[in-house]
């Protein structure tokens, strides 16, 4: 019989720990949580200090029995679930089920699954952390109270089967509010004016109009019409010589970014690798739990991947600095170790940042033993960790002020030259993450930092007073853009910056709001569904505090303080529950029942001609239905005027006639895109695929390619003969023959890097698409 029992969460750790700990240790995996609140009842006594009722999770009885049996004969029991709140709860629940003296039970926090990491953790165990457990318990009870109290109201008022979550509902609100911004946005026209110039020495360069008559472009001076742009263009063209007024040279430093926290890893893996949050965490988990490198069992390659901290151990810093000096030379090594301040000073700072466990495991040496996903993510973590202990990148920046038209017109241009790569030799952060801030670029105020461009063109050597040759002036028309809809990276960033939830829960949050049908993914970004918008509207009205971003962030801080021991968990729940219970009571009575709610109109039903059309609501959104329903099942789409009045949406008549009743077919919108239905639908239930002039390229197929939407909301193009023909494309097909292989269609794809290009699906030949310019 083993002298010591070690209990871990994941079965994949069992073999590794046995190898590292040797004989005398029995290792058992709990396979996650073993106890939880009951499924079918609230499980919380709100009248008795929120006492929770925990039950053994179905299927875990055998595991708990095995742990209890081994524990009875062990000299000590080491509870080693993951080193976070959830792991602490697992440890406490296991401890409550084994009948041995408390002094024989120890808590072990394994930050890295390496021989040294495991053995050190066992040598320095601690007692169970009551405060960390209470913090997790308070969070679980809060989520249970919100879910079990609000969800039944949604069942009654909206649709059976709906649910509400304390943090997920706030995430849905963020998506809904961003969508409102996009819809309400009114684009404004503006113009930019560039002047092409040459000096005594090459190269030719461009300067941008910066001011006119003492007014700065974009601030005091708005160029919002072609007329204004052309007038300014004329002044430059006819304003005489262009003179160099000022030459300012500065050294710029771009500092390395900190090592990864969970949130930053999720964001960067999405930007650089295309991983969604769930995929990132799954791959990171496998790297943490271990990979078999040499046939002798798994080795953990990264530290624990759920952390808010940017702290690195002294030993890890020393390893990184030695590697930098050896690989890149002393000129890349800072005089002192680089330290990073953690954004939120919470108890989660007990962990290190995400880093490689052993510097000798270079990514290049692991290509053959890691999967493609593992290698990509490990390389990302490795490079960022090494780069954080390297010198800043250095730039020479030259800003040139020029004038014409007797000094009343000001032009400006900036050239930046990289003179020392520093940390950029190893790692450069994703483009949508680079922030031009004073704390990122040294010696730059906030406004200048916004204009800092490390990719700008080189400029010739210029002297004050020098006269430049005028070549041409171009004007470009632009329109302001709304805030972009959230993608996974930007939504994670928003949640993290606003303190909503914790990075360890982001994967669950994002998958839950999609699975519940409140949010859909469209072309890799999030949009609220009609159901999501309606539920959000009702919840914001009925529970303004619960759906408040500030309140949710403050609750996270309170839970952190519970873990720190400065706040009692029961007081947190008491402060929350009384006003919440009152809001629940009011919502049960006053929340609008959208199942029954109708908005009357004076529009006569065009089918039965006796009823009036009414605005009704379904999970697909608002529609017009007849007041004689169910006798008359007429339904129509509608729009609203600026004054809010209802107007029937004009039906788009198809060229085709219904094959059953010979009436016109009309274009309708459905859950998965457009389709064609008989104008007498549902009386005549004839439905066909939408029209298309792009013939399916599959041999022997007579169908056409039409736009559709997947269940997750992503747009694709598929054959109208589906399922007999399953030909499909993600990119938009165009009716054009490939000049290289003769394939009957091409696709059109737009990327930031290459712009819009035409690509052959068969031979992958790529050519630039034609583009137009607003150049004057």
Residues annotated as part of the active site: 304
Q: Would you call the peptide bond into 281 cis, given omega within 30 degrees of 0 as the criterion?
A: no
Residue 195 · residue 207 · CB < 8 Å: yes
- Buried b / exposed e along 523-557 (16+ C-beta atoms within 10 A): eebbbbbbbbbbbbebbbebbeebbebeebbebbe
- Crossing angle between the packed helical segments 506-515 and 262-273, to the nearest 10 degrees: 60
Angle at 440 between CA 438 and CA 442, to 5 degrees: 65
Other beta carbons within 10 Å of 652: 11
Q: Quick one: which of 65, 44, 47 has its CA closest to 56? A: 65
In three-state secondary structure terms, 564 is helix
Alpha-carbon gap, residue 518 to 174, rounded angstroms: 12
Q: Is 666 left (phi over 0), alpha (psi -120 to 50) or beta?
A: beta
Closest CA to 604 of 634, 570, 566, 643: 634
Place of tokens 């996270």: 556
Residues 6+ apart with CB under 8 A from 471: 195, 196, 197, 198, 204
Stated length of the chain: 776
List of residues 6+ apart from 546 with CB closer than 8 A: 146, 150, 166, 169, 539, 552, 580, 583
CA distance 540 to 744: 52
């Amino acid at each position: 019989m083993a002298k010591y029992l070690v209990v871990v969460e994941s079965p994949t750790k069992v073999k590794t720990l046995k190898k590292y700990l040797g004989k005398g240790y029995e290792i058992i995996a709990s396979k996650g949580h073993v106890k939880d609140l009951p499924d079918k009842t609230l499980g919380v006594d709100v009248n008795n200090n929120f006492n929770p009722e925990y039950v053994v999770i179905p299927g875990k009885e055998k595991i708990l029995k095995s742990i209890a049996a081994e524990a009875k004969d062990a000299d000590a029991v080491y509870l080693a679930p993951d080193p976070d709140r959830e792991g602490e709860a697992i440890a406490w629940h296991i401890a409550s089920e084994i009948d041995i003296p408390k002094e024989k039970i120890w808590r072990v926090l394994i930050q890295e699954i390496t021989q040294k990491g495991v053995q050190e953790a066992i040598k320095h165990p601690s007692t169970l952390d009551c405060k960390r457990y209470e913090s997790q318990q308070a969070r679980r009870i809060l989520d249970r109270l919100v879910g079990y109290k609000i969800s039944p109201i949604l069942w009654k008022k909206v649709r059976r089967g709906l649910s509400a979550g304390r943090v997920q509902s706030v995430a849905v609100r963020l998506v809904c509010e961003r969508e409102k911004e996009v819809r309400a946005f009114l684009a404004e026209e503006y113009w930019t004016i560039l002047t092409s110039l040459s000096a005594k020495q090459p190269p030719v360069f461009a300067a941008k109009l910066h001011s006119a008559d003492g007014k700065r472009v974009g601030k005091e001076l708005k160029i919002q019409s072609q007329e204004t742009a052309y007038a300014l263009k004329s002044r430059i063209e006819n304003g005489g010589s262009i003179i160099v007024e000022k030459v300012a040279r500065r050294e710029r430093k771009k500092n390395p970014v900190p090592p990864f926290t969970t949130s930053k890893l999720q964001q960067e893996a999405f930007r650089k690798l295309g991983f969604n949050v769930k995929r990132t965490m799954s791959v990171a988990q496998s790297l943490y739990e271990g990979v078999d490198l040499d046939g002798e069992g798994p080795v953990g390659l990264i530290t624990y991947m759920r952390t808010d901290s940017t702290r690195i151990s002294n030993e890890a810093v020393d390893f990184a600095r030695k590697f930098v000096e050896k690989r890149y030379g002393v000129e890349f090594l800072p005089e002192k170790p680089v330290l990073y301040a953690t954004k939120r000073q919470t108890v989660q700072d007990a962990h290190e940042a995400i880093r490689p466990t052993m510097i000798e495991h270079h990514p290049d040496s692991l290509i053959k033993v890691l999967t493609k996903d593992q290698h990509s993510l490990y390389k990302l973590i490795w490079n960022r960790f090494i780069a954080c202990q390297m010198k800043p990148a250095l730039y020479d920046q030259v800003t040139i002020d020029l004038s014409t038209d007797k000094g009343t017109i000001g032009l400006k241009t900036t050239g930046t030259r990289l003179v020392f790569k520093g940390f950029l030799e190893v790692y450069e952060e994703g483009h949508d993450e680079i922030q031009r801030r004073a704390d990122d670029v040294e010696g730059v105020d906030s406004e200048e930092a916004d204009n800092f461009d490390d990719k700008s063109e080189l400029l010739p050597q210029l002297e004050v007073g020098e006269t430049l040759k005028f070549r041409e002036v171009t004007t470009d028309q632009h329109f302001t853009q709304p805030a972009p809809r959230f993608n996974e990276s930007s939504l994670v960033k928003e949640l993290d910056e606003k303190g909503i939830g914790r990075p360890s829960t982001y994967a669950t949050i994002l998958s839950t709001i999609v699975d519940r049908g409140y949010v859909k993914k469209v072309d890799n970004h999030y949009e609220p569904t009609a159901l999501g918008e309606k539920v959000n509207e009702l919840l914001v009205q009925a529970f303004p505090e619960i759906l408040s971003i500030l309140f949710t962030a403050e609750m996270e801080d309170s839970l952190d303080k519970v873990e720190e021991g400065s706040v009692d968990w029961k007081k947190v729940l008491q402060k929350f529950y009384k006003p919440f219970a009152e809001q629940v009571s009011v919502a049960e009575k006053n929340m609008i029942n959208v199942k029954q709610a109708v908005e009357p109109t004076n529009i006569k039903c065009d089918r039965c001609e006796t009823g009036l059309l009414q605005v009704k609501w379904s999970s697909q959104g608002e529609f017009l239905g007849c007041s004689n329903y169910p006798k008359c099942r007429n339904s129509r789409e509608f729009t609203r005027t600026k004054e809010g009045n209802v107007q029937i949406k004009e039906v788009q008549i198809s060229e085709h006639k219904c094959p059953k009743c010979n009436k016109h077919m009309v274009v309708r919108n459905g859950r998965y895109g457009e389709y064609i239905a008989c104008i007498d639908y549902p009386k005549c239930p004839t439905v066909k695929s939408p029209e298309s002039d792009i013939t399916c390229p599959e041999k022997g197929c007579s169908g056409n390619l039409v736009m559709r939407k997947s269940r997750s909301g992503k747009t694709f193009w598929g054959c109208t003969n589906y399922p007999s023909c399953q030909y499909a494309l993600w990119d938009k097909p165009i009716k054009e023959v490939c000049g290289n292989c003769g394939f009957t269609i091409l696709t059109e794809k737009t990327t930031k890097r290459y712009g819009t290009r035409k690509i052959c699906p068969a031979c992958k030949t790529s050519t630039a698409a034609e583009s137009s310019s607003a150049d004057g």
